Amino acid sequence: MQVQSVFLFETPVEIWSRVYRTLRPRAAMPEIQVRYGKFVDAHTYARLRDGKLEVKITDVLDGAPAPILESLAYILLGKLFRKPVPALYNQRYRRYMNRREMRRSLQLLRQMRGRKYLSGAQGKNCNLERVFEDLNRRFFDGLLARPQLGWSKTRSRGILGHYDPSHNAIIISRIFDDPEAPRLGLEYVMFHEMLHLCHPPEHGYAKRRVHTKEFKEAERGFPRLKEAKLLLKKLCAKACRES
Ligand SMILES: [Zn+2]
């Protein structure tokens, strides 16, 4: 595709320079600094300071596809210089940020960063370290490095588990910290999140794929997979997914 080749070799700074040039064809090109920062939400800004254009982007967008970064550049520079932003860029950015996966990361980020610390692995009834190491021995030859492990703040049924690469943390829904909770369900959710440790996402042109073909294939190595999935479905009653 034609559009794609524009982005192929562009760094974020180059994308921003190009958009700056388009919006301000005659202005001097400032020095441009693009940084990714840990924000509680999707807060992102561009400002001019001492002739330098400072851009700070939420780290949720670190690794976002180039067309998304380009759209963001149009939106923020448009705002900064009071230039109208072509609808295409607004739509593209909004669509990306509204994807379920993105909404979920933002929600979890807020949960985690809003607090002083991550809950430890030890819950009221269950220790996640033990669950992790047991699965590690059984399925990964004990070779997976253990990330931070924690329980979610609430008994979430919407999100049963999540791997957060920016904190290298696996968060498990508190719903499983219960003697009544099915152990198979907990083990499956943990196993799924552990696969995220060894199967990095693929970055395509328009989207980031977390559950790659290899990931799904590896997941089929979990014994009683069907039973486990059914269990989770019942547990959630309504549609829910692990991420
Ligand atoms: Zn997943």
- Mean pLDDT is lowest, of 6-10, 151-155, 164-168, 206-210, for 6-10
pLDDT score at 240: 52
Is the pLDDT assigned to residue 206 strictly greater than 60?
yes
> For residue 167, what are the domain limits?
101-236
With bands split at pLDDT 50, 70 and 90, how would you rate the model's confidence at 115?
low
Cα of 243 from ligand 1 centre, angstroms: 4
The side-by-side arrangement of strands in the sheet containing 148-151 is 148-151, 169-172, 161-164
| pTM exceeds 0.75, yes or no | no
The mean pLDDT value of the chain amounts to 84
- The per-residue pLDDT for range 77-89, each reduced to its tens digit, is 999 999 999 999 9
Cα of 165 from ligand 1 centre, angstroms: 12
Cα of 224 from ligand 1 centre, angstroms: 18
Tokens 């943390």 belong to 169
- The per-residue pLDDT for range 33-78, each reduced to its tens digit, is 998 877 655 578 899 999 899 998 887 787 788 899 999 999 999 9
Contact 236, 242 (CB under 8 A): no
Please indicate, yes or no, whether residues 149 and 131 belong to a single structural domain of this protein. yes
Query: Judging by DSSP bridges, how do beta strands 161-164 and 169-172 pair with one another?
Result: antiparallel
Please indicate, yes or no, whether residues 185 and 229 belong to a single structural domain of this protein. yes
Task: Identify which of 104, 107, 132 has the alpha carbon closest to the alpha carbon of residue 120.
Answer: 132
Task: Identify which of 162, 192, 182, 176 has the alpha carbon closest to the alpha carbon of residue 128.
Answer: 176
pLDDT score at 116: 41
Cα of 193 from ligand 1 centre, angstroms: 6
pLDDT score at 167: 74
Cα of 122 from ligand 1 centre, angstroms: 23
- Mean pLDDT is lowest, of 3-7, 77-81, 107-111, 208-212, for 3-7
pLDDT score at 156: 74
Please indicate, yes or no, whether residues 63 and 148 belong to a single structural domain of this protein. no
Please indicate, yes or no, whether residues 116 and 212 belong to a single structural domain of this protein. yes
Instruction: Give the whole-angstrom CA distance, residue 90 versus residue 74.
Output: 8
Core vs surface per residue 141-178: b (16+ CB within 10 A) or e: eeebeebbbbbbeeebeebbbbbbbebebbbbbbbbbe
Please indicate, yes or no, whether residues 182 and 133 belong to a single structural domain of this protein. yes
Please indicate, yes or no, whether residues 153 and 213 belong to a single structural domain of this protein. yes
**Mean pLDDT throughout 201-210?**
73
- What is the distance in angstroms between the CA of the first residue and the CA of the last residue of the chain? 31
Cα of 15 from ligand 1 centre, angstroms: 31
pLDDT score at 200: 81
Cα of 38 from ligand 1 centre, angstroms: 22
| Residue 241 domain-assigned (yes or no) | no
Cα of 201 from ligand 1 centre, angstroms: 10
Please indicate, yes or no, whether residues 31 and 120 belong to a single structural domain of this protein. no
- The per-residue pLDDT for range 19-32, each reduced to its tens digit, is 999 999 999 999 99
pLDDT score at 138: 96
